[in-house]
Structure 1
Amino acid sequence: MEFEKLYIQAKNTLNPRDISPFISAGSVASAILTDKGKVYLGVCIDTACSLGMCAERNAVANMITNGECKITKLVCLSSTGEILTPCGACREYLMQLHKTNGEMEILKSLDNFATVSLNELLPDWWGKKQINV
Protein backbone atom coordinates (compact mmCIF):
# COMPACT_ATOMS: atom_id res chain seq x y z
CA MET A 1 0.00 0.00 0.00
CA GLU A 2 2.88 2.39 0.76
CA PHE A 3 4.31 1.91 -2.72
CA GLU A 4 0.94 2.63 -4.31
CA LYS A 5 0.73 5.90 -2.36
CA LEU A 6 4.30 6.83 -3.26
CA TYR A 7 3.63 6.04 -6.92
CA ILE A 8 0.56 8.30 -6.94
CA GLN A 9 2.44 11.13 -5.21
CA ALA A 10 5.32 10.88 -7.68
CA LYS A 11 2.92 10.70 -10.63
CA ASN A 12 1.12 13.83 -9.40
CA THR A 13 4.49 15.61 -9.24
CA LEU A 14 5.28 14.99 -12.91
CA ASN A 15 5.05 18.21 -14.88
CA PRO A 16 7.28 18.16 -17.98
CA ARG A 17 8.10 21.70 -19.04
CA ASP A 18 10.79 23.98 -20.43
CA ILE A 19 12.13 26.40 -17.87
CA SER A 20 14.34 28.27 -20.36
CA PRO A 21 15.99 27.52 -23.71
CA PHE A 22 18.64 25.65 -21.70
CA ILE A 23 16.70 23.91 -18.93
CA SER A 24 13.78 21.49 -18.88
CA ALA A 25 12.26 19.84 -15.85
CA GLY A 26 9.64 17.45 -14.58
CA SER A 27 9.82 14.57 -17.05
CA VAL A 28 10.90 12.17 -14.28
CA ALA A 29 9.58 12.25 -10.72
CA SER A 30 10.61 10.50 -7.54
CA ALA A 31 9.10 9.94 -4.10
CA ILE A 32 11.08 8.74 -1.11
CA LEU A 33 9.80 7.52 2.24
CA THR A 34 12.04 8.02 5.27
CA ASP A 35 12.34 5.97 8.43
CA LYS A 36 10.34 8.71 10.18
CA GLY A 37 7.41 8.18 7.80
CA LYS A 38 7.83 11.41 5.83
CA VAL A 39 7.62 11.59 2.04
CA TYR A 40 9.86 13.83 -0.04
CA LEU A 41 9.32 14.48 -3.73
CA GLY A 42 11.57 15.60 -6.56
CA VAL A 43 11.64 16.03 -10.32
CA CYS A 44 14.52 15.86 -12.74
CA ILE A 45 16.12 19.08 -13.93
CA ASP A 46 17.94 18.72 -17.25
CA THR A 47 20.39 21.43 -18.32
CA ALA A 48 22.43 22.19 -21.44
CA CYS A 49 25.57 22.43 -19.30
CA SER A 50 24.93 19.01 -17.68
CA LEU A 51 24.69 20.49 -14.18
CA GLY A 52 21.14 19.25 -13.78
CA MET A 53 19.75 16.92 -11.18
CA CYS A 54 17.96 13.59 -11.26
CA ALA A 55 14.56 13.33 -9.59
CA GLU A 56 15.94 11.07 -6.86
CA ARG A 57 18.68 13.54 -5.91
CA ASN A 58 16.16 16.38 -5.95
CA ALA A 59 13.94 14.45 -3.51
CA VAL A 60 17.00 13.69 -1.37
CA ALA A 61 17.92 17.38 -1.32
CA ASN A 62 14.45 18.12 0.07
CA MET A 63 14.91 15.37 2.65
CA ILE A 64 18.32 16.63 3.75
CA THR A 65 16.97 20.18 3.97
CA ASN A 66 14.45 18.82 6.46
CA GLY A 67 17.09 17.06 8.57
CA GLU A 68 16.68 13.44 7.46
CA CYS A 69 18.97 10.93 5.72
CA LYS A 70 17.51 7.39 6.18
CA ILE A 71 15.37 6.16 3.29
CA THR A 72 13.16 3.06 3.51
CA LYS A 73 11.34 3.18 0.15
CA LEU A 74 11.88 4.86 -3.22
CA VAL A 75 9.73 5.23 -6.34
CA CYS A 76 10.89 6.80 -9.59
CA LEU A 77 8.87 7.10 -12.78
CA SER A 78 8.96 8.62 -16.23
CA SER A 79 6.43 11.00 -17.74
CA THR A 80 4.63 7.98 -19.23
CA GLY A 81 4.26 6.40 -15.78
CA GLU A 82 6.93 3.77 -16.44
CA ILE A 83 8.76 2.66 -13.29
CA LEU A 84 12.48 3.44 -13.38
CA THR A 85 15.34 2.40 -11.13
CA PRO A 86 17.97 4.96 -10.10
CA CYS A 87 20.86 5.64 -12.46
CA GLY A 88 24.38 4.73 -11.37
CA ALA A 89 25.14 8.20 -10.00
CA CYS A 90 21.95 8.19 -7.92
CA ARG A 91 22.64 4.68 -6.64
CA GLU A 92 26.02 5.85 -5.37
CA TYR A 93 24.56 9.04 -3.88
CA LEU A 94 21.77 7.13 -2.09
CA MET A 95 24.23 4.59 -0.71
CA GLN A 96 26.54 7.26 0.72
CA LEU A 97 23.76 8.97 2.74
CA HIS A 98 23.36 6.45 5.54
CA LYS A 99 24.67 3.00 6.43
CA THR A 100 21.17 1.45 6.30
CA ASN A 101 20.15 2.93 2.93
CA GLY A 102 21.40 -0.15 1.11
CA GLU A 103 18.38 -1.93 2.57
CA MET A 104 15.85 0.50 1.08
CA GLU A 105 13.18 -1.02 -1.11
CA ILE A 106 13.02 0.39 -4.63
CA LEU A 107 9.88 -0.19 -6.67
CA LYS A 108 10.79 -2.22 -9.75
CA SER A 109 7.36 -2.97 -11.19
CA LEU A 110 3.71 -2.12 -10.64
CA ASP A 111 2.93 -5.80 -11.15
CA ASN A 112 2.49 -7.01 -7.57
CA PHE A 113 4.62 -4.00 -6.54
CA ALA A 114 7.87 -5.95 -7.03
CA THR A 115 10.90 -4.35 -5.39
CA VAL A 116 14.67 -4.55 -5.37
CA SER A 117 17.03 -3.34 -2.64
CA LEU A 118 19.72 -0.76 -3.26
CA ASN A 119 22.26 -3.37 -2.12
CA GLU A 120 21.08 -5.59 -4.97
CA LEU A 121 21.47 -2.75 -7.48
CA LEU A 122 24.92 -1.84 -6.15
CA PRO A 123 26.58 -5.08 -4.99
CA ASP A 124 30.06 -5.04 -3.50
CA TRP A 125 29.85 -1.30 -2.84
CA TRP A 126 33.32 0.17 -2.31
CA GLY A 127 32.36 2.29 0.74
CA LYS A 128 30.73 -0.39 2.91
CA LYS A 129 33.63 -0.61 5.39
CA GLN A 130 33.89 3.16 5.87
CA ILE A 131 30.16 3.82 6.30
CA ASN A 132 29.77 1.07 8.89
CA VAL A 133 32.41 2.58 11.20
Structure 2
Amino acid sequence: MVSLDELFSAARAIQERAYAPYSNFKVGAAIATPSGRVFSGCNVENAAYPVGSCAEAGAISAMIAAGESRIAAIVVMGEGENLVTPCGGCRQRIREFAQPDTPIHVAGPNGIRESFTLDALLPFSFGPDNLGIR
Protein backbone atom coordinates (compact mmCIF):
# COMPACT_ATOMS: atom_id res chain seq x y z
CA MET A 1 0.00 0.00 0.00
CA VAL A 2 1.21 3.49 -0.84
CA SER A 3 1.79 5.76 2.15
CA LEU A 4 0.21 9.18 2.44
CA ASP A 5 3.73 10.66 2.56
CA GLU A 6 4.53 9.06 -0.81
CA LEU A 7 1.34 10.44 -2.35
CA PHE A 8 2.03 13.89 -0.91
CA SER A 9 5.58 13.84 -2.32
CA ALA A 10 4.34 12.79 -5.76
CA ALA A 11 1.70 15.55 -5.81
CA ARG A 12 4.21 18.14 -4.66
CA ALA A 13 6.79 17.11 -7.28
CA ILE A 14 4.32 17.19 -10.17
CA GLN A 15 2.84 20.52 -9.04
CA GLU A 16 6.15 22.15 -9.93
CA ARG A 17 5.72 20.97 -13.53
CA ALA A 18 2.27 22.51 -13.96
CA TYR A 19 1.82 24.85 -16.91
CA ALA A 20 -0.17 27.79 -15.53
CA PRO A 21 1.02 30.99 -17.23
CA TYR A 22 -2.47 32.56 -17.16
CA SER A 23 -3.69 31.87 -13.63
CA ASN A 24 -0.27 31.37 -12.01
CA PHE A 25 -2.06 28.75 -9.91
CA LYS A 26 -0.24 25.44 -10.08
CA VAL A 27 -1.98 22.28 -8.94
CA GLY A 28 -0.64 18.75 -8.63
CA ALA A 29 -2.49 15.51 -7.99
CA ALA A 30 -1.32 12.00 -7.18
CA ILE A 31 -3.45 8.87 -7.23
CA ALA A 32 -2.74 5.58 -5.51
CA THR A 33 -4.32 2.45 -6.94
CA PRO A 34 -5.20 -0.71 -5.01
CA SER A 35 -2.22 -2.43 -6.67
CA GLY A 36 0.14 0.12 -5.08
CA ARG A 37 0.97 2.15 -8.16
CA VAL A 38 1.07 5.96 -8.12
CA PHE A 39 0.02 8.21 -10.99
CA SER A 40 0.36 11.97 -10.99
CA GLY A 41 -0.87 14.89 -13.05
CA CYS A 42 -0.67 18.67 -13.11
CA ASN A 43 -2.89 21.39 -14.48
CA VAL A 44 -2.17 22.54 -18.02
CA GLU A 45 -3.57 25.85 -19.26
CA ASN A 46 -3.58 27.32 -22.75
CA ALA A 47 -4.21 30.61 -24.51
CA ALA A 48 -7.91 29.77 -24.88
CA TYR A 49 -8.15 30.18 -21.11
CA PRO A 50 -9.99 28.70 -19.23
CA VAL A 51 -9.91 25.70 -21.57
CA GLY A 52 -7.28 23.48 -20.04
CA SER A 53 -6.96 20.35 -17.99
CA CYS A 54 -7.00 19.84 -14.26
CA ALA A 55 -4.33 18.00 -12.32
CA GLU A 56 -6.78 15.32 -11.25
CA ALA A 57 -7.83 14.71 -14.86
CA GLY A 58 -4.19 14.28 -15.85
CA ALA A 59 -3.54 11.79 -13.06
CA ILE A 60 -6.66 9.82 -13.97
CA SER A 61 -5.63 9.77 -17.64
CA ALA A 62 -2.18 8.44 -16.70
CA MET A 63 -3.80 5.77 -14.54
CA ILE A 64 -6.12 4.62 -17.33
CA ALA A 65 -3.31 4.72 -19.92
CA ALA A 66 -1.29 2.38 -17.69
CA GLY A 67 -4.13 -0.13 -17.53
CA GLU A 68 -5.39 0.62 -14.01
CA SER A 69 -9.00 1.53 -13.28
CA ARG A 70 -9.47 2.02 -9.53
CA ILE A 71 -8.53 4.89 -7.25
CA ALA A 72 -7.63 3.88 -3.69
CA ALA A 73 -6.65 7.41 -2.53
CA ILE A 74 -5.79 10.79 -4.00
CA VAL A 75 -3.85 13.85 -2.89
CA VAL A 76 -4.58 17.26 -4.45
CA MET A 77 -1.87 19.88 -3.88
CA GLY A 78 -2.48 23.62 -4.21
CA GLU A 79 -1.21 26.93 -2.89
CA GLY A 80 -2.85 29.71 -0.92
CA GLU A 81 -4.77 29.94 2.32
CA ASN A 82 -7.98 28.28 1.08
CA LEU A 83 -8.40 24.55 0.58
CA VAL A 84 -7.84 23.48 -3.02
CA THR A 85 -10.44 20.76 -3.40
CA PRO A 86 -11.22 19.09 -6.74
CA CYS A 87 -13.56 21.10 -8.97
CA GLY A 88 -17.02 19.72 -9.71
CA GLY A 89 -15.95 18.11 -12.96
CA CYS A 90 -13.00 16.40 -11.30
CA ARG A 91 -15.17 15.18 -8.45
CA GLN A 92 -17.28 13.41 -11.07
CA ARG A 93 -14.15 12.08 -12.82
CA ILE A 94 -12.90 10.69 -9.51
CA ARG A 95 -16.35 9.18 -8.89
CA GLU A 96 -16.04 7.13 -12.06
CA PHE A 97 -13.08 5.22 -10.62
CA ALA A 98 -13.52 5.46 -6.84
CA GLN A 99 -15.80 4.27 -4.07
CA PRO A 100 -17.85 6.58 -1.81
CA ASP A 101 -15.36 6.01 1.04
CA THR A 102 -12.26 6.73 -1.08
CA PRO A 103 -10.08 9.27 0.75
CA ILE A 104 -9.36 12.57 -0.96
CA HIS A 105 -6.59 14.46 0.81
CA VAL A 106 -6.21 18.19 0.22
CA ALA A 107 -2.68 19.48 0.69
CA GLY A 108 -0.70 22.67 0.77
CA PRO A 109 3.07 23.17 0.66
CA ASN A 110 3.46 22.17 4.30
CA GLY A 111 1.42 18.97 4.24
CA ILE A 112 -2.08 17.54 4.30
CA ARG A 113 -4.60 20.20 5.32
CA GLU A 114 -7.84 18.24 5.30
CA SER A 115 -9.09 14.79 4.34
CA PHE A 116 -12.51 13.97 2.93
CA THR A 117 -14.24 10.95 1.52
CA LEU A 118 -15.55 11.13 -2.03
CA ASP A 119 -19.07 10.88 -0.60
CA ALA A 120 -18.47 13.99 1.53
CA LEU A 121 -17.34 15.99 -1.53
CA LEU A 122 -19.93 14.55 -3.93
CA PRO A 123 -22.93 13.30 -1.95
CA PHE A 124 -25.72 11.39 -3.68
CA SER A 125 -23.58 11.15 -6.80
CA PHE A 126 -24.49 9.59 -10.12
CA GLY A 127 -22.04 7.00 -11.36
CA PRO A 128 -21.47 3.73 -13.18
CA ASP A 129 -23.61 1.77 -10.72
CA ASN A 130 -26.63 3.91 -11.66
CA LEU A 131 -26.24 2.59 -15.19
CA GLY A 132 -25.73 -0.99 -14.07
CA ILE A 133 -22.04 -1.02 -15.05
CA ARG A 134 -20.81 -2.03 -11.58
Tell me which interval the TM-score lies in, with the shorter structure as reference length: 0.7 to 0.9
Q: CA RMSD in A?
A: 3.0
Pair 126,9 (structure 1): closer, same or farther in 2 beyond 3 Å: closer
Equivalent residues, number: 128
Among all aligned residue pairs of Structure 1 and Structure 2, give the percentage whose two residues are the same amino acid.
Answer: 27
Query: What displacement does 1:102 show?
Result: 2.6
**TM-score in terms of structure 1 length:** 0.78
**1:126 Cα deviation from its structure 2 partner:** 2.7
Unaligned 5+ runs, structure 2: none
- CA deviation after TM superposition for structure 1 residue 51, in Å: 3.0
Q: Higher strand fraction: Structure 1 or Structure 2? A: 1
The aligned runs of 1:19-98 (5 Å cut-off) are 27-49=26-48, 50-79=50-79, 84-97=84-97
Structure 1 or 2: more helix by fraction: 1
Q: Which amino acid aligns with 1:71?
A: I
Alpha-carbon spacing, 1:131–1:34, altered in 2? closer, same or farther (3 Å): farther
